[in-house]
Amino acid sequence: MNALERLEITCSRAWPPLVAEPLGEWSLRWAAGFTGRANSALAVGDPDRELGDALDAVCDFAHGRGIAPMVQVVRDSPNERAIAAAGWVPAAHHGAGHEVAVLTKGHVHVKVPPAGHFHLNVADEPEPGWWELALRPGEDSPAARQVLTGGKVGYGVATTGDTLAGVVRGALVDDWLHVGRLEVAPAFRRRGLGSALMDAVQTWGAEHGAAHAVLQVAEGNSGALALYAGLGYAPHHRYRYWVPAPGSCEDSTS
């Protein structure tokens, strides 16, 4: 297994599904439909069986839990080429975008937050209102909350008075800080609050032993890509979601 695939496993551990079953070095994941990352097979390394049998196992696992079969695989990897050759197709209609950039920052450190109108804090438990801003319309569910509270997590908030202006999530896996769910309320955008929240969660990560940081962002999200580039994040690799071709991978459980 190469460094790209190992980082994919790190990111998966920072975003834990409700159910994960090994398929050789692959992982079959389910979280009641909350995000592609937690409801797809992570196809890294060797599935320890013929590829066709592995993809059949992906289908059976997904159908048995009421989700559509999908794999997450490093772009241009041998696994991706084999999956394409087996007749699977890019998940072009995946809501959040089927191609995702993985960005890394080689060093995170403690940084004194600048003075301003916002109070920044990263806590071990989400403050009131964190979920309402961090979860998008239609996402709030017990499964979503379980995924986002799994592992060692810091919940960042920016407040002004009694108003919650922004949130972010940081998760620690070994010496990696995984950053996600950065969201600034519309009324407070374009004030540098996204950068301030990133500084806060990176400081929390450094204080808890993180040496570097990673995040995942859809290739089509140009605003986020520009923000993270300005904060020192660089492209590491990309992954894509693949699904069975129409008419294949029938549900044998029905």
Write the pLDDT tens digit of every residue in 64-85. 999 999 999 999 999 999 999 9
Cα–Cα distance, 183 to 93 (Å, whole number): 24
Whole-number pLDDT of residue 69: 97
The DSSP annotation for the chain comes to: --HHHHHHHHHHHHS--SEEEEETTEEEEESTTS-STTSSEE--S--SS-HHHHHHHHHHHHHHTTS---EEEETTSHHHHHHHHTT-EE-TT-TT-SEEEEEEES-----PPPPSS-EEEEESSPPTTHHHHHSPTTT-SHHHHHHHTSSEEEEEEEEETTEEEEEEEEEEETTEEEEEEEEE-GGG-SSSHHHHHHHHHHHHHHHTT--EEEEEEETT-HHHHHHHHHTT-EEEEEEEEEEPPTT-S--TT-
Residue pair 143/31 in contact by the 8 Å Cβ criterion:
yes
Beta bridge partners of 242: 71, 90
* Residues in the chain where the model's pLDDT stays below 50: 253-254
Nearest to 181 by CA among 149, 151, 229: 149
Quote the CA–CA distance of 247 and 108 in Å, as a whole number: 47
Give CA–CA dist 236/220, Å, rounded: 16
Nearest-angstrom CA–CA distance, 18 and 34? 10
**What domains, with CATH codes, occur in the chain?**
3-101+239-243 (no CATH), 108-210 (3.40.630.30)
- From 3, 5, 20, 252, select the one nearest 151 (Cα to Cα): 20
Given this model, what pLDDT does residue 253 score? 46
* pLDDT tens, residue by residue, 190-209: 889 999 999 999 999 999 99
pLDDT of residue 254: 42
